[in-house]
Amino acid sequence: MSRTLRTAQDLAEAGLIGPAAVPGLEAVRARYSIAVTPAMAALIAEHGAPIARQYLPDAAELITAAHELDDPTSDAPFTPIKGVVHRYPDRALLKPLLACPVYCRFCFRREAVGPDGGLLSEAELEAALDWFAATPAVREVILTGGDPLMLSPRRLAHILQRLDAVPHIETLRIHSRVPVADPSLVTPALLAALATNKPLYLCVHANHAAEFTPVAAVGLRALHSAGLVLLGQSVLLAGVNDSEPALEALFRAMLRHRVKPYYLHQLDPAPGTARFHVTEERGLALMRGLRGRVTGLAWPTYVREQAQGAGKIPLGMAGMRIGAGQAGEGR
């Protein structure tokens, strides 16, 4: 297979779902985008449920549980200008687009992301970059979306160069699925676009050890050699990584590929994601079970988002609150 699968019929023709499931899953696609790259389709065929569950649509997505929220991280109240989310005094998100190489079935922005949405116009992008230049309290910029590594190298380079030139911005960060979900995009042109004078951190989103394929390994090595600091973020997901062996394998795979496990997220309550929910008690038990089994280098912080943009807290640290607004990628 050489193209991304974007419809239920595509998935059926690739043998990833049965023909009888097509009508119901087309109804899901009408609300939430589908995208399965060739790399992920091959992994689904090889590893089954832990990968398939992350990317293949399910009729349960159209059922919203009572506790689920349309905007679980509350981006909207903290948006001073289109494309920017500013919760912290010292950092802000820049969302230049809302397209991704794959569409995770548990995504907290699943109502907004899609292949045709969210690309800032030239004027909107320049206005957002001007906002960063005019906001001296912001010392860190986090590029997210969508997936910033889906941008053309030219556009990505322009964004990074503009931000790199702002004196009060000290660090840059990108959150991406590309290195594991579509490693073919890690090209010499992309690596050149990522060249910055200021520290650039790349947070690689992966939830299962199998996502670190030999092809992904090549791209990650190239990114590391280009000077990026690689961090790993994951979501605790039922049927994907909710066991001690699965988490241990995931964190060890990250380290083998020069990725420091950074955060393990409790699932954000986006609509239609209840089938992925793992209780906090179970998550804490899993983390306790790993203590002493893995090096501290493989130890992420297990966190939960608070409601209405109030921030995240490290789970297992009762009463500790790191400050308002630690939500989404802006951590």
Round the average pLDDT of the chain to a whole number and report it. 91
pLDDT band at 310 (very low <50, low <70, confident <90, very high): low
pLDDT band at 327 (very low <50, low <70, confident <90, very high): very low
Asked if 54 and 108 sit in the same domain, the reply is no
Q: Which of 48, 56, 49, 121 is nearest to 83 (CA)?
A: 121
- In this prediction, residue 320 carries a pLDDT of 35
Q: What percent of the chain has pLDDT over 70?
A: 93
Question: Residues with Cβ < 8 Å from 125, sequence gap 6 or more?
Answer: 83, 96, 159
Q: For residues 171 and 309, give the distance between their C-alpha atoms in angstroms, rounded to a whole number.
A: 23
- In this prediction, residue 189 carries a pLDDT of 98
For residue 52, give its domain range.
1-63
Reported as a single tens digit per residue, the pLDDT across 142-172 is: 999 899 999 999 999 999 999 999 999 999 9
Please calculate the CA angle 277-283-289 and round it to the nearest 5 degrees: 150
pLDDT at 116 over 80: no
- Mean pLDDT for the stretch of residues 319-326: 38
290 with 248: CB under 8 angstroms? yes
In a domain, 266, yes or no: yes
Asked if 83 and 227 sit in the same domain, the reply is yes
pLDDT at 323 over 50: no
Q: For residues 127 and 258, give the distance between their C-alpha atoms in angstroms, rounded to a whole number.
A: 36
Asked if 188 and 309 sit in the same domain, the reply is yes
- In this prediction, residue 315 carries a pLDDT of 87
pLDDT at 232 over 50: yes
Neighbours of 134 (CB within 10 A): 9
In a domain, 228, yes or no: yes
- Mean pLDDT for the stretch of residues 235-255: 98
Asked if 115 and 147 sit in the same domain, the reply is yes
Strands of 200-205's sheet in order across: 84-85, 91-94, 140-143, 171-176, 200-205, 229-235, 260-265, 301-306, 311-314
pLDDT band at 73 (very low <50, low <70, confident <90, very high): confident
Asked if 44 and 175 sit in the same domain, the reply is no
Asked if 191 and 237 sit in the same domain, the reply is yes
Reported as a single tens digit per residue, the pLDDT across 210-226 is: 999 999 999 999 999 99
295 or 2, higher pLDDT: 295
In a domain, 323, yes or no: no
170 with 139: CB under 8 angstroms? yes
156 with 190: CB under 8 angstroms? yes
* Residue in this structure with the two tokens 């990968």, named with its chain if needed: 51
pLDDT band at 316 (very low <50, low <70, confident <90, very high): confident
For 265, the token pair is 């997220």
Question: Domain count of the chain?
Answer: 2
Asked if 75 and 41 sit in the same domain, the reply is no
Cα 258 to Cα 116, 121, 148, 298, distances in angstroms: 33, 35, 21, 11
- In this prediction, residue 142 carries a pLDDT of 97
In a domain, 158, yes or no: yes
Asked if 193 and 252 sit in the same domain, the reply is yes
Asked if 130 and 237 sit in the same domain, the reply is yes
pLDDT at 201 over 80: yes
Q: For residues 153 and 198, give the distance between their C-alpha atoms in angstroms, rounded to a whole number.
A: 18
Reported as a single tens digit per residue, the pLDDT across 40-70 is: 999 999 999 999 999 999 999 999 998 887 7
Asked if 7 and 106 sit in the same domain, the reply is no
For 216, the token pair is 């992904």
- Mean pLDDT for the stretch of residues 314-325: 51
Reported as a single tens digit per residue, the pLDDT across 246-266 is: 999 999 999 999 999 999 999
Q: Which of 98, 96, 123, 94 is nearest to 108 (CA)?
A: 98
Helices (H), the chain: 8-13, 22-29, 38-47, 49-55, 122-133, 153-164, 178-181, 188-193, 214-225, 244-256, 280-290
In a domain, 319, yes or no: no
pLDDT at 319 over 90: no
Q: What is the greatest pairwise CA distance in the chain?
A: 58
Q: For residues 241 and 283, give the distance between their C-alpha atoms in angstroms, rounded to a whole number.
A: 10
End-to-end C-alpha distance for the chain, whole angstroms: 37
Asked if 130 and 272 sit in the same domain, the reply is yes
325 or 286, higher pLDDT: 286
Q: For residues 193 and 178, give the distance between their C-alpha atoms in angstroms, rounded to a whole number.
A: 15
Q: What are phi and psi of 118, to 5 degrees?
A: 85, 0
Whichever domain contains 277, its CATH number is: 3.20.20.70
Q: What percent of the chain has pLDDT over 90?
A: 81
Would you give the DSSP letter of residue 240?
A: T
Asked if 180 and 56 sit in the same domain, the reply is no
The reported pTM is 0.91
Query: What is the chain's Cα-based Rg?
Result: 19
